[in-house]
Amino acid sequence: MARPNFLRFINFWPPLLGAGIRVTRMDPDMKAVDVELRMHFWNRNYVGTHYGGSLYSVADAFYMLMLIHHLGKDFIVWDKAASIRFRKPGRGTVRAEFRLSNQQIEEVRRIMTRQEKYEPTFLVEIKDSSGEVVASVEKLLYIRRKKAEQPSNPASQPG
């Protein structure tokens, strides 16, 4: 289960707060997260539409956070790469929905029993208030099992 104050914390996390991004839904099981970006003077570009960096920030980190929650402390999960394709100018409030199914989580666990690392790809669409896609973001994650910790002092190892 997600930490109770996590939603409150994440909405005050400076990179999201500064961009005008707000998490509007985070299911307790961390399988669903909804995010919105409202248009403000500080996230508008020269031509009056959403700044591209703010649109990308809508999609940053959420799949990573969701998988960290589901895989636990024995795994390292990082965002490795991303690409964004702008489909149309973003105006007003835009939204993105992040979803992880039980099947996706189990697939990652199954693959991690056979491989040292795994690099899954996730796609998220950022949509305007009419439901039209403003941008598509493809996220490449890096997942690997943490290595067993070695004692820092070899003399402290049992003989």
Q: Which domains does the chain have, with CATH numbers?
A: 6-146 (3.10.129.10)
pLDDT band at 3, cuts 50/70/90?
low
Mean per-residue pLDDT, 54-82: 94
Cβ–Cβ < 8 Å for 46, 19: no
Q: Which residue has better confidence, 159 or 146? A: 146
Q: State the Cα torsion 139-4-22-121 to the nearest 10°.
A: 10
Around Cβ 114, how many Cβ atoms within 10 Å?
7
Least reliable range by pLDDT among 54-58, 59-63, 132-136, 155-159: 155-159
Distance between CA atoms of residues 150 and 17, nearest Å: 39
Mean pLDDT for the stretch of residues 27-31: 92
